[in-house]
Amino acid sequence: MFRLEALRPQQDDRLAFLKGFLREPKDVGSVIPSSRFLERRMVRMAGVRDADSVIELGPGTGGTTRAILSAMPESSTLLAVELDPVFADLVRGFDDKRLMVHQGSAENLRELIATHRLKPPKAILSGIPFSTMPVDVGTRIIEAIRDVLAPGGCFVAYQFRGAVADRARPILGEPESSLELVNIPPMRCYRWCKS
């Protein structure tokens, strides 16, 4: 039996997340951050423990970022790409030499990887709300993910609605999916692995 406390992010994170939602509701997927259960599921599904290069799209207040950093090897790198400048600054404050934060669009992954001299990522995790962005932007992001993901790498996304699967299916194929009920709201998790 889990404790309800395990679902609760830190008070400052919840407040920052709510403020972000109120500031730009279409760019933030929820009014509260993800639960630890969802964060752990994402990390497991993406194979972060074995990844030497990881990208996170839409870290928000950094709950999943912390879970990724905690799971990934010491020699790995994590590039967090965040559109919201306040959230980007918040995540930049994390004290971990493996973490790089870019404030901007996930459409530019190829350029970001080249700029930071990163290896093709073995894991890309996303919490960005595909359901509220223009279809063409979502399609360009999925195409960028396809183009940069290392062979054998996985792209994992969580969403309340199925927009990410709708955008990705023609480009990446049929995803594996599962439901994380211990989150408010419950979230669907999708995974695509590149052969």
The CATH number for 76's domain is 3.40.50.150
Token pair for 103: 């404030």
> For residue range 115-156, what is the model confidence (pLDDT) as tens digits?
999 999 999 999 999 999 999 999 999 999 999 999 999 999
Three-state SS letters, 43-101: HHHHCHHHCCEEEEECCCCCHHHHHHHHHCCCCCEEEEEECCHHHHHHHHCCCCCCEEE
> For residue range 65-91, what is the model confidence (pLDDT) as tens digits?
999 999 999 999 999 999 999 999 999
Prediction pTM value: 0.85
Q: By residue range, what is the domain housing residue 92?
A: 4-193
- Give the number of domains in the chain: 1
185 upstream amide cis, omega within 30 of 0: yes
Residues 67 and 96 sit within 8 Å (Cβ to Cβ): no
